[in-house]
Structure 1
Amino acid sequence: MTHISPSRFSRPAQVRSLLNDALIYAPLAGFVFTTFAVLYPHMRTAIVLGGVGLYGAALLIEGLRLGRFNRDWVISALNEFYPDLEDSADLLFTPDANLNSLQVLQRSRLIERLPPATALREPWRWGTVIISTIVAILIVVAGLWASTLNDAGERRPAPKTSAISGPVKLAEARIDVTPPAYTGQTRHTESALDIKAPQGTRLVWRLRFAPETEAVDLVLLDGRKIALTRDNGMWTTQLTLDKSMLYRIVFKGMTGTVPLHRLEATPDLPPKVEVVTPDRSLSIVSEGQTVWPLVFAVSDDYGVNATAELRLTLAQGEGENITVREKVVTLTGSGSAREKRFATQLDIKGLGFAKGDDLIAQLTVRDNRVPSPQSVRSPSLILRWPSDLGNESTGLEGLARKTLPAYFRSQRQIIIDIEALLKEKKKLSPDAYLARSDSIGVDQRLLRLRYGQFLGESAEGEPENPTGDGEAHHANDGHDHGDDSSAAFGDGANITATYGHVHDEAEAATLLDPETRALLKKALDAMWQSELHLRQGRPDLALPYAYTALNYIKQVQQATRIFLSRVGPELPPIDDTRRMTGKREGIIGNRLSLDPVPGPDAPVVAAWSALAEVPGRPVDVPLGPLDTWIGANEARIGDPLALSAAIDAVRGDSACAKCRRTLRGLLWGVLAKPPAQVMRRDAATASGGRYLDALERQP
């Protein structure tokens, strides 16, 4: 027979004791702390947390006290309340190995007389619970009664002597500043009305006036008005600081000048990325190199995101046969929250990097701004593996590419070829279909470059002769090049005549009017789209753009050309009858009146000129355009709030000479500096300084 565990009797006793204490403490904690939270709303969070903490501490203490219900307590309670156990309850909880035969027999007799497991738990203490509830209610009633007396005292009209004592003044000011959570700055309270905080900060004003006033408004300089609400003798309102602004506190019955206060929002700057390794933007693969180390240093004013994206672009091929592959790798930074380093070792062979390829890396980092993080890209880093010049194409294929003449197909012929290719699509293999489409795309490119010369566009790739034969012109090539001996250095016409083919006459240079140039530009754009789809093997998508280009080319061909010839000036005929007479009647001056073009700082110049202290000049200053100019040029103004405050002072009192001088001085500082400035004279040297001093000492 095994012994009985003491927990059979101690656990019900512990549960009943814990429930009794919880019911006794609950009214005191609930009613009392709820009343305090209602009476003191500005401390509501602290009171609630304090009440919950005290209640939890009381339960924790009670839990520690439950340790008294141990084995000795169970034995003592059984022996005390149950005489049938003959003071031998300890035999019930003793192992068999520690008992003799007589004790085992006695324990078997005691088990038959054993009470139920719940016999030792204490009864419900309803009387104590009721008393605790009554005490809590009395405390609540007393607190509410005291609060009513205080409110009545505050609402009691002040004596007449107090009202006469002076005007309403700001007696107390508290501003709760709650920066955004991502900045890591703690919430704090300011007593000054001028606030400088991060952008997105939540501001809560709590103002008290002596004596009391009936209404208080928060008036922003841009015209917005926010009414404050009264709460237990304090006037409160809240605002989210999205941008820097000026404001006033205006209350009923206020007289005199209302001062301006500053709300300066500190913007969240984007992250800064610095390339640590490599030390140059273009790197050449060294012999035996297998990895490419990259290290970036990133810093931010509030915090850098723990991860960043490294975009890898692998460009393979030469000429027009270039393929591009992209891959994004996620990097994890190391370091502090505001300064991190992102490092990696790129396996260039694993990326498929080979001779003649370029590997481009660019890191994109973000900060922790909520809700929209700011992202910044690093400069592009290029790893180049130069191709082996000995492996260039040779033989018949290379010879054919160099000797083929430049051939330009017409746009109509390109359309015909595209339509023929679409009809034969089912008969061709995918490779043959792609090859023919790419060949037509090459013809479209050559035609686009040909028309692009009329708009001043340069040809793509390395310069080559128009005939495509790669040879220079000579005297017997069939073209009349003239005599080279008269060519002057820097003469564009002679250079063109010597090394090119001039098919237009110099006396009739063709000029395109703006409308014709616009049509030709549209035709080139359509050719570009046609070429793009043809090179990708999609002639069905290229055909509409080819037709569009043909339509614009027809309109260009139908446009009127303007021929300019070299003629002398056409002067009016001379009136011989007026010569040598000295008569000037009827002579009309030929001077043209030039109106000055208003510059970007015209409102600033106009206001600065109007603020000059000139006797007899009206005091009106054009401040409206100046406000608009400030809103559009805040980035270039060192302190826009100070300038807005000076404008407001002049607007309030246009005759204030000091205010006008202050505004005029600030306007001078924001005027754009002229591009050409007077060079300062060099400072005097040591010997020159002694010479000047000697001159000054001369009588």
Structure 2
Amino acid sequence: MSAAQRIGEWHARARRSRAAYLACVCGVWLLPLVALVARFYGAAPAWIAFALGAAAVAWRAWRGAKALDRAWLRRRLDSLRADMDDSADLLFADESALGGLQRLQRSRLQRRIETAPASDLRLGWNRRALAIAAVCALALAAAAVLWPPSRAQAPAPALAPSPPIAAAPGQPRLVAQALRIEPPAYTGMPAREEPSLEGRVAEGARLRWRLRFQPQPAQAALVFHDGERLPLRRDGEDWSAQRTLAKSALYRIDASGAPPAQARRLYRLDAVPDRPPQLRVLQPERGLTLLAPGQKAWPLAFEASDDYGVAATARLRITLVQGSGEQITFRERSLDLRGSGGVRAKRFVHRLDLAALGYAVGDDLIVQLSVADNRAPQAQTALSPSLILRWPADAGSEATGIEGMVKTVLPAYFRSQRQIIIDAEALIARKRQFDDATFVKKSDAIGVDQRLLRLRYGQFLGEEAEGEPKLPTSDSEDDGEHGHDGEAGAGHEAPPPAAHDDHDHGAAAAKPTFGEEGAVLEEFGHTHDHAEAATLLDPQTRKLLKAALDQMWQSELHLRQGQPQRALPFAYKALGFIKQVQQASRIYLARVGPELPPIDESRRLGGDRAGLARREDALAPATAADPLPARLWRELDAPASQPVDYAALERWLGANSGRVDDPLAFAAALSALRDRPECGECRARLRGLLWPLLQRPASAVRARDAGDARDRRYFDGLPREAR
């Protein structure tokens, strides 16, 4: 074994010995530490203390072993071995940097290490100190475990005096009371003392009652409105109990031998639920944003608020939609945003680099922010509305046959009726900024949009679209027949073929034959029997759509005349009809014809209906109103001597708590009436709570008035006149 290997082995043995010694010296104190924590704080904190203490002992042992570095090793070799000639540092020096005499001395030291017996470089253990530490630790642990608990009580907060209650001598009465409320830790609210034993409490709060009776009862408990009993435990002169409030409750104090007035007193605890966080979008202002020319980034800003606190970070989900048609792909990723602001309100701001996300022409970028609150153990989350950044479609241009004339291609969408109203109102508000000609021109442009929308909705009724004359291009077969275009030709009568340019009637290759039925229909009529283009609407829906088109006509009329303020009432009426049409049901014809199974000739005209479903719609049974509330309401109107079915009302309240605005008010009124059946005010209060729950009876058919003698003579004469 070489000298370097032997020295490394001695060094490692010394480090292990040092680490073991320090672990023993420090580890013995873990026992009293765990015993003390377990005595005063319980088992769970004791395990945590043990884990932390063990980690501290391991860290101390590692640091002690690491302190035995190479410098310590050189000093240790020089001090323990005289044959090192105080030159142990030559063993760890770079040989290339040594002189001739130094290399000679180095080789001599290496031969001595290789031939000499093994050296024990370990530091000695202080057994006396280790024994003293072990004895002290064991004594402290034994004291923590075996020491009897102290009977001395820490001074508790003073109890508030209870309202005086008339009681007979010897009856236990409540003389002092206090309710300690400890809200959940995540709320950040401090604990408080409530002397009245009732109030509004955060959901999940820890409640501790302390009551004092005089004289002391044999036993006492808290009885809740749902029948649960929470026993009170006597602690000296006081009685105490603890509970976590999960929902609102009514309770009373039940002490053996207590006066009836005290036993009837109800206390109310309202559990205030933790509301989910509220999220508001600050930027952008709209859900759909079109990419501006030259835009490189998309700024986003959100504001989140919560009643107890918003989480420090939020998650931004980013979806990139690429492609079109059936070749659409989705790419999703998430970012964690850190908010700024206070505990209950935070602001989340981020700028998306469009180039880094791969945003290109025709893509959609969709983002949504998710924010959580600090509720424990399960946090509540809120989602923002989806925000879309859209690359605007290229409008493009289409050249016509005339040199230098370009016609802009309209986008594939048409304006909505609501947008027309918005544009008209904006034009009216800015009327003073334009002269008369410009104002009329802009109003006419809105009227054109109204016309396009009217034609679009008119297709659903099978109306003929207004023909648009063709441009006088050189490739047109009837150049001379269309010397006008656009709206300028509205006052001229167009030839029949041009009046229906929006229909595909096929090519007129041959001259129609006189008297031929198909030729007459082709020349003077139109066939609208395309199954894929037809829409079936019920009569009511067609009536609404026709009314909407009539209002659009009037709106377009005034807009084209430069009177948008007179067009607005008709536009609003059209919008109302359109909304009703959108809510109506529409039936679309199938694209392909039905393929019916072949008829079984053996069953024809046989009268066998086995396996055939009934064509009549089955009548669904009507849901009868619950008779119990009405019956109880009538029972409460009876004299006080008549019994009331309290148990039925309690069962009904338990099964229909969602229909009741304030179930605790019902429970309090029911308890008061049960304690005092002769109380008329209690009956009236309970009847008032039941009244909104009664179902309104269906209207009955009213008999026709028989009329006077003149009317009867008239009706009697009708049969004779019919004969």
TM-score (norm 1): 0.45
